[in-house]
A and B are shown apart, each in its own frame.
Chain A
Amino acid sequence: MHITKVNNLRIKNFNDQVIVFDPNTGQTHCLDSNVNEILNYLPTDKPCQSSQLKQFFMQDCLNDEKAMLNDYIQDMIDSLLKLKLIHTHCKNA
């Protein structure tokens, strides 16, 4: 799955949480710092493979930790998709 972050997000950081305003939808969201890390990693200009993103965050982890993290990161990606803060892209043939 290829994903990009939505353009023009406005972010306000507060310690362990961030407030994200999406001017495209007018929605405001409160995200925890882990979800924000995922969001920060993603570019807005070119799609990033979700596997690449997971690999970045799972580096130096043990195998059993990787399995757990994989599910956790996927949950966060799914949440961001649901909030429409990221988009998926079809891979070109």
Chain B
Amino acid sequence: MPIKTTLNSLCTNEIYQQLKNDGLVIAVGPFVFCIKSSLPSIASNVEKIYGDFQLLSHDDLIDFYVSIKKPKGLRRFIKPQINFYCDDYSPFLPLPASQAFPLLEWGMNWCIAQHAHHYLLLHSAVLEKNGKSVILPAQSGSGKSTLCALLALNGWRLLSDEMALIDLQNCQLHALARPISLKNESIDVIHKQACETIFGEVVDDTNKGTISHLKPSTFSVQQVEKTTAPFAIIFPKYQAEQVICIESTDKAAAFMNIIENSFNYSILGEAGFQAVAELIDNTQCHTLTYSNTAEVLAFFEELVS
């Protein structure tokens, strides 16, 4: 088996120079990104958070050319802004330069959501343990990413904190193992966990509040090519002071909930319908309301035991 070169093999200056010049080429699950930026914050965060990712070269087939650049003109210097580009197209409004790394992450999500239509894409976290994968579809603010981080720090393999990739041909889940985006209070919640955590910089005043990215485990990144069949769909909702409550979800309701949480069901047509039907057939579906970390971790351990 060929040994994969990872970003860790480069020193800080090499990473900075590659980002600044031709771009840094890395494998992110089934995709290859070429990332360009001359911003020091991009270089430092990429070095810290993407260290375990496979380093590739410009001879490899690249799916997405992305860059974070300062604009020309006054906003380059006065209250500096930055733009995200994918193949020289900028799909977003500019953001303050302090939000460069979150913008890169959002931009990479956008690239996959806009283009990867050989998968059914769900807005959900996905983790696996004991060969059993759990999909956690949820709207922003439901506590999904915090729960995802808790599980990832407790022995679960992270496939994704944001997007389930379900192969339309065989219904297998593909992994991305990208950094987990944590917001506001959840950053402290995860910091207080009794295990090693590596965070990117903390960025305030984004449209989602304060954000920081948790480095995915080396184990998750090393296993990124391993696909897995979905075992359960859990619709999670954090609710303060709520005793843990698990209820089986009616399958028809789960079906409609899944398509509401899909980025691309509406454009997949019948292939999307069949993929969701197969997904629902092959998984157990539950809603979960919780507030206590120990209780929710115990529930998930029991689920896959």
Asked if B3 CB lies within 8 Å of chain A CBs, one says no
Query: Chain A 1-34, CB within 8 Å of chain B: the 1/0 string?
Result: 0000000001010111111010100101010000
By beta carbon, the residue of chain B nearest A28 is B259
> By DSSP majority rule, is chain B's interface helix, strand, loop, or mixed?
helix
Contact B252 A17 (CB under 8 A): yes
Q: Mark B69-87, 1 if CB is under 8 A from A, else 0.
A: 0000000000000000000
Q: Which residues of B contact A30 (CB under 8 A)?
A: 252-253, 255-256
In the complex, chain A residues whose CB is within 8 Å of the CB of B274: 10
Which residues B218-273 have CB closer than 8 A to chain A?
A: 250-253, 255-256, 259, 265-266, 269-270, 273
Evaluate contact between A23 and B277: CB separation under 8 angstroms.
no
* B278 nearest in chain A by CB position: A12
- Size category of the A interface is 10 to 19
If over half of A's interface residues share one DSSP class (helix, strand or loop), that class is named, otherwise mixed; here it is strand
CB distance from A11 to the nearest CB of B (A): 10
Bound CA span A16–B250, Å? 10
Chain A contacts of B265 at CB under 8 A?
28
Asked whether, in the complex, the Cβ of A14 is within 8 Å of the Cβ of B266, the reply is no
Counting chain B residues whose Cβ lies within 8 A of the other chain, the interface size class is 10 to 19
- The reply to whether A14 and B250 form a contact with Cβ atoms under 8 Å apart is yes
Q: Is the CB of A23 within 8 A of B270?
A: yes
Q: Give the distance in Å from the alpha carbon of A19 to the alpha carbon of B253 in the complex.
A: 9
CB pair A17–B250 under 8 Å, yes or no, is yes
Chain B residues positioned under 8 Å from A10 (CB to CB):
270, 273-274
Q: Which residues of B contact A23 (CB under 8 A)?
A: 269-270
B259 touching A26 by the CB < 8 A rule? no
| Alpha-carbon separation in the docked complex, A19 to B250 (Å) | 12
> Given A14-B250, A28-B259 in contact, is the A19-B277 Cβ separation under 8 Å?
yes
The reply to whether A14 and B255 contact each other, CB–CB distance below 8 Å, is: yes
Give the chain B neighbours of A26 by CB distance below 8 A. 266, 269
B residues touching A (Cβ–Cβ < 8 Å)? 250-253, 255-256, 259, 265-266, 269-270, 273-274, 277, 280
Give 11 A-B contacts (CB < 8 Å), ordered by A residue: A12-B277, A15-B250, A15-B252, A16-B252, A17-B252, A17-B253, A18-B252, A19-B256, A19-B277, A23-B270, A30-B253
Apart from A10-B273, A21-B273: 11 A-B pairs, beta carbons within 8 A? A10-B270, A12-B255, A14-B252, A14-B280, A17-B250, A18-B252, A19-B252, A19-B256, A23-B269, A28-B265, A30-B256
